[in-house]
Amino acid sequence: MRFEDKYFVKFRFTKEQLNANLKNAFKDLAIAKEDKILEVKFSYAYTALIKGGIALLSFYNVKAKSVPGHHVKIIEKLAQALNNSDINDIGNIMRSKRNLDLYSGGIEVTEKECLEYLNFAGKVLNKIKGIITTGR
């Protein structure tokens, strides 16, 4: 997998940092599952997905730069690493919806959407956890 210099930098993560990144992603997923406000559920499901991508990148000793478009690239690399184009498709739908919430006066998220996004993020995080814990 190729990591563009504009978006990524090589960085040697310790095992503790790698595990902390993964734990942080699962923490956000837990918040998304527990909260009752749909917009909060959605927002935390999205950040769990992004943080899961960050954890997987750290497994490859790569760190995302905080530049415009880096969430797109994190999602793209996550889809490539897990060989699953649904991650790119659904991840970018979530990203676009999150951007509308931030920059265009908010969003409305249905309970059904939240459940789908939570299940999706949970499956992706479990795959990431499998890779990190087995080392492959």
CATH label of the domain that carries residue 76: 1.20.120.330
Predicted model pTM: 0.95
Residue 37 falls within a domain, yes or no?
yes
Residue 56 falls within a domain, yes or no?
yes
Contact 48, 121 (CB under 8 A): yes
In the chain, the number of structural domains is 1
Residue 24 falls within a domain, yes or no?
yes
Residue 62 bridge partners (DSSP) = 10
Residue 64 falls within a domain, yes or no?
yes
Residue 106 falls within a domain, yes or no?
yes
For residue 7, pLDDT beyond 90: yes
Q: What are the pLDDT digits (tens) for 16-42?
A: 999 999 999 999 999 999 999 999 999
Residue 86 falls within a domain, yes or no?
yes
Contact 12, 61 (CB under 8 A): yes
List the domain range (segments joined by +) for residue 121: 13-134
Amino acid, res. 64: A
By C-alpha distance, which of 77, 67, 72, 75 is closest to 7?
Answer: 67
User: Token digits for 43?
Assistant: 């927002």
Return the pLDDT at 104.
Answer: 86
User: Token digits for 71?
Assistant: 């969430």
| Confidence band for 1, pLDDT divided at 50, 70 and 90 | confident
Residue 59 falls within a domain, yes or no?
yes
CA 95, distance to chain mean position in Å, is 10
Residue 90 to residues 55, 60, 87, 129, Cα–Cα distance (Å): 19, 23, 5, 20
By C-alpha distance, which of 84, 112, 90, 99 is closest to 43?
Answer: 99
Residue 7 falls within a domain, yes or no?
no
